[in-house]
Amino acid sequence: MGTLSHTKNLDVILKARENFVTLLCLPPHITHKLQPLDVGVMFLFNAYMDQALETWMNNHPGRTVTDANYRNIYFKLLSLAQYLRELPL
């Protein structure tokens, strides 16, 4: 999410593409409509991410979480979320 000026900056676009980041440009004054996502989805995802990072640090005492470690944990959580979403209720 960002302003149009950010999404028209070629350096930003190339850096995002290089890091597999999708840029979105939302219409102005729409963030209130996204609030349920922040509360219902992102809150839970962040809680699981915190727990996963804490587990990683407990399993690797004295080591620092690198960008690669963080991405690995993040994508495992995304895979789990996708799996859970596909389970029949």
Amino acid sitting at position 69: N
Grade residue 3 by pLDDT with cuts at 50, 70 and 90: low
Return the pLDDT at 5: 59
pTM: 0.56
CA–CA dist 3, 6 (Å, integer) = 6
Backbone angles phi, psi at 64, to 5 degrees: -100, 140
- 25-69 pLDDT, tens per residue? 777 788 788 777 777 777 878 888 999 999 999 999 999 999 999
pLDDT value of residue 56: 94
Amino acid at residue number 28: P
